[in-house]
Structure 1
Amino acid sequence: MNLSIEYNIIIAYVVGLFLLYILGWLLVVPRKFLLRLILNGIIGALVLFFINMAGKSFGIYVGINPITALIVGFLGIPGVILLIVLQYIV
């Protein structure tokens, strides 16, 4: 009987360490994702700003807001084209 209790304790420690590892991993990964999201949003806003400056003579204007900045930040040039096409469709 004593032997089975020791196995249960060992299993409990292993499960606890595993859960602690998972919790630590969950706290680190979102921070990296959040920083990448912010950086892509800033880059997207800058690209949209320069597109708007260059597009004044052609009548091209895309509003700069967090959603459009993130679309351009994630998709790059295809994101800019997507936003311009969507603007003319809608």
Structure 2
Amino acid sequence: MFELLTAFAVGLVVLCLVGKIISLPLQLVWKLITNSIVGAILLWVVKIFAAKVQITFLSALIAGFFGVPGVIAVLLYTYL
């Protein structure tokens, strides 16, 4: 009886660890996708109000990877 309970506990711990290992990359991908969407929208809105800002591959990559702080960095680079 004790061996069955121990095997169940070990199996449950292993299942939880495998679930965490699998879900971590999915969380990172989801964060990258949401940052990219928010960054692209913010770059587009900034482009409407500030004609000096150019949307290039590099600025889109920075805004997509870093999100709102990336858009702020692109704006600082453009105006400084």
TM over 0.5: yes
Q: Is 2:39–2:60's contact at 8 Å kept on the other side of the alignment?
A: no
Partner of 2:19: 24
Partner of 1:43: 38
**Matching residue's letter, 2:53:** I
Larger RCO (CA within 8 A; separation ≥ 6) = 2
- Higher-Rg structure is 1
**Matching residue's letter, 1:30:** P
Give the deviation of 1:42 after TM superposition: 0.8
* Alignment of structure 1 residues 1-90 onto 2, 5 Å: 14-56=9-51, 59-63=52-56, 64-71=59-66, 73=67, 76=68, 78-87=69-78
Q: Count how many residue pairs are aligned between Structure 1 and Structure 2.
A: 78
**Matching residue's letter, 2:25:** P
The alignment's C-alpha RMSD in Å is: 2.8
Unmatched segments (≥5 aa) in structure 1: 1-5
Identity, % of aligned positions: 27
Runs of 4+ in 1 over 4 A off after TM superposition: 6-13
**Matching residue's letter, 1:54:** F
